[in-house]
Structure 1
C-alpha cells in the first residue's frame, strides 16, 4: 500500500519525448511512497492500487516542484540606493567604480552575524517558496575573505529544509576583488585556503566564479577551476554577461554544470556548451533590472542543443527578485523563450544545472515527490501571468507544505 495517491489531475512529468517534450499525461494519477514517486500514469492504469490517502485534484495541473538554480540569497543589508542611481542613468560599471555594487554588499555582509544573515535569508526563502520553489541554489561571494565566505555557506546550509526547500550551497570563489588585496594574492588565497577549507568541511556542492572585464580574467578563473576539481568540486561560471570574455568555452572545457547570464555569448561558446552538456542559465530579471539591451542568443543555444534553465538571480543589487514564476514570464517576454522552454527551464534543466537531475526536475519513478499543483486551465499560463499567485498546493516528499 502506497502512502499517497494523487488523482484527477493533468501532469507535466518533464520526462517526455520529441513528440511530447513536457511528458504531459492528461487525466492522470501519481503514486507516492516513502517520499518518492512510485508511478505516474493514466488514472485508469492506477485504479487497482491502494494508498493510505487519496487526494483528488479536480483537474488541476501538476508539475515538478520548481527549482531556482542561481541565487545570492544570503547577504547583509540591501542596495536600494543603487536602484535610484540606476534610474538616474548610472551604469553597472559606474556604480561599482564608485564603491557600490558587490563591494557594498561585502561590507554589510561582513558586519552581519550568522543569526542576522539567517533571519533575513529565511524571509526571502519563504517568499520564493510561495512561488512554487522546492529546491534552490544559494551562493556565497559577498565575503571576499575566507572567514566570511565560510560564514555565508554555513548560513546556507542552515537554511536547508526551511519552508520545505532543499538548499544547494555554492562557493562563489571569485566574485569581486576586495579593495584591500592585490589580485594575485587574492586568487592565491582562494586557491590555497578558501577552497580547501570549504571542501574539507563539506560546505558547498560546487564552485562558481565571475569571468568579466570588471571581475576576473579567464586565466584566473581557470586556476580556480583547477583547484576546485582537485578537491572534487564541480564548477559553474558567470559568463558573458557584460562582454564576451570567452568564459562559456572555458566553462565547457572544464565540463561545468552551467554557464550563467550569457548575453554576449558567441557561436563558438554555444557550440562548446552543447558539446560539453553545460547548461545555459538565463537570468532575465537581472537583464530587466539593468535595463540591458543585449539579449542572450537564444537561437544559437537552440541550434547547438544547449539546455536552457531559468532562475531569479535573487541578489541585493541587480536582481532583487523573489518570484520564480515572474522570472519565467520575463524569460518568455524578454528573451522569447516558449512557455514550454520556460517550464522546462525551472524544472528539468534547472535540476541539471545543479547536478541533481538524478533525483529532481521530473516526475518519474524513483524521483523525489516534490511537486506543485496549479489551478490553471493551460500549462502555458505558468509563463503567461505576471505575478502569478502561489500554486494551490506545494508538496515536498509527497506531503503538503
Structure 2
C-alpha cells in the first residue's frame, strides 16, 4: 500500500458527494450539473479539503485518527447566502397585520414603517445587543447548512450608526463559525432627518458616510485577509432614483468596493442596465425585470439574485423570472434576504 499521508479527517463511504465543481459561475443548462460522486470520500487537512473522489480510489491513500463512516449520508458544500440584513434592532411584527389587511410594502414604507422603523430600533441598540441577536440568527442559519453569509449595513443611515453596524459585522466574522462578507448599504432608504430630500441624503452618503466606511474597511480584518467589501443601493420609488443610485455606486467603486444593487423589486426604470454598465457583481430582486434586460444579464458576468421568499412573505404575485434568466445564459443564485420586515 506504500506510505499513507496522515490527515485530520477522513470521511468515507459517502453515498453521494455533491461537488458543484466548476471553473466559474454556472449558467443555463450547466446549472443542473451538480458534480455528484457516488460512493465518495472527502479528505480534510489543516482545515481545508485536501482531496475529493471515489472512495475506491482514496481508501488506502490517507490515514487519520478521525474516520467517519458516512454510509447512507450525503455531503454537499455549505450554502452561501448572498443577500441578508442579519443585523437589526427590534421587529416589525405589527406590519404583518397591515399586510394582511391589504397594505403594500411601499404604502407601509411611505407611512413611516418599514425600513425607517427598523432604523430607529437599530440606532437605539448597543453593539452588544445587535451582536447577540445577530449571532442567534447566524446559529440557526449554520444549523440549516449555511456557512457563508453576506451581511449588509443599512439600518444605521448615519456615519456613526453605519460604522456601529460595520463593527458588529466584523465581530461576527471574528467570533462566529460562519464566514461573513460585508456590504455597505448606507443608501437603503432616506432617514427621517432627511425626510423628503433624497438628494441631500445622497450627498451625505457619497461625501460623508461612505468615505468613513471606506476608511474603516482599510484597517478591518476583511481587508487584512483580502475579503472584498461591497457597496449596495436600493434603487426604487421612495428610496433612490437611477441617477442617485449611480452616484452612490460609483463612489463606492472609486473607494475600492465592488458593486451590488437592489433593483426592479416593484418598479423597473433601467437599473439593471446601469448595474451592468458599472460591472456590478450582482443585481438582486429582479421581480419586474423585462425581457430585454434579462437578455443583457445573460451576456454579462453579473450574477442575478432572485429573492423569492420576500415575494411570498409580502403576498406578491410577481416573482423574478429565474427560468428566463437561466435560458438567457445568466448565472443565477438564490438568497434569503433575511430581514425584519419581509
Q: TM-score normalized by structure 2?
A: 0.89
Could you tell me how far 1:56 is from its partner in structure 2?
1.2
Aligned residue pairs total 318
For structure 2, list consecutive stretches of 5 or more residues without a partner in the other structure.
1-5, 221-227
Cα-to-partner distance string for 1:158-207 (whole Å, 9 max, x where unaligned): 11154411111111121101122232221111111222211111167100
2:20 aligns with one of 14, 18, 26: 14
Q: Residues of 1 paired with 2:211 and 2:292: CA distance?
A: 33
* Structure 1 counterpart of 2:56: 44
**How far off is 1:25 after superposition?**
0.4
Partner of 1:236: 260
Establish whether residue 253 from structure 1 lines up as the match of residue 277 from structure 2.
yes
1:211 is matched with 235
**Alignment correspondent of 1:365:** none
Whether 1:314 aligns to 2:314 is no
Q: Could you tell me which residue of structure 2 aligns to residue 5 of structure 1?
A: 10
Is the alpha carbon distance of 1:282 and 1:20 closer, same or farther for their aligned partners in structure 2, counting shifts above 3 Å?
A: closer
Q: Note if contact 1:129-1:163 (Cα within 8 Å) is conserved in structure 2.
A: no
Question: In 2, Cα distance between the equivalents of 1:159 and 1:19?
Answer: 31
Q: Kindly provide the CA deviation profile for residues 342-388 of structure 1, in whole angstroms up to 9, marking residues without a partner as x.
A: xxxxxxxxxxxxxxxxxxxxxxxxxxxxxxxxxxxxxxxxxxxxxxx
Give SS of 1:252's match.
helix
Q: Please state how far the C-alpha of 1:245 moved relative to its aligned partner.
A: 2.1
Q: Secondary structure at the match of 1:164?
A: coil
Aligned equivalents of 1:4, 1:271: Cα separation in 2? 45
2:325 maps to: 301
Cα distance between partner residues in 1 of 2:331 and 2:49: 24
Residue of structure 1 in register with 2:68 after alignment: 55
Aligned with 2:258: secondary structure?
Answer: coil
- Which of 73, 79, 103 aligns to 1:90? It is 103
Q: 2:208 aligns with which of 190, 193, 203?
A: 193
Is the contact between residue 154 and residue 187 of structure 2 (CA under 8 Å) also seen in structure 1?
yes
Cα distance, 1:300 vs structure 2? 2.2
User: Which of 215, 231, 245 is the equivalent residue of 1:221?
Assistant: 245
Aligned pairs for 1:337-352 within 5 A: none
Give the whole-Å Cα distance in 2 for the aligned partners of 1:248 and 1:22. Answer: 28
**Larger RCO (CA within 8 A; separation ≥ 6):** 1
Q: What is the alpha-carbon root mean square deviation over aligned residues?
A: 1.6
Q: Encode CA deviations 1:195-250: one digit per residue, 9 max, x unaligned.
A: 22111111671001101122111111111111111111001000100011221111
Contact 1:239 1:245 in 2 (8 A): no
Pairing of 1:1-400 with structure 2 (within 5 A): 1-9=6-14, 10-15=16-21, 18=30, 21-52=33-64, 53-181=66-194, 182-202=197-217, 205-318=229-342
| CA distance in 1 between partners of 2:32 and 2:103 (Å) | 46
Q: Measure how far apart 1:87 and its partner are.
A: 0.8
Distance 1:295 1:184 in 2: 30
Aligned-residue offset at 1:51: 2.8
* Partner Cα distance (1:268, 1:211) in 2: 19
Distance 2:323 2:305 in 1: 15
Alpha-carbon distance in structure 2 between the residues aligned to 1:118 and 1:219: 34
Which blocks of at least 5 consecutive residues in structure 1 are unaligned?
Answer: 319-401
TM-score w.r.t. length of structure 1: 0.76
Q: Distance in 1 between matches of 2:140 and 2:175?
A: 12
In structure 1, how many angstroms separate the alpha carbons of the residues matched to 2:281 and 2:336? 17
Larger radius of gyration: 2
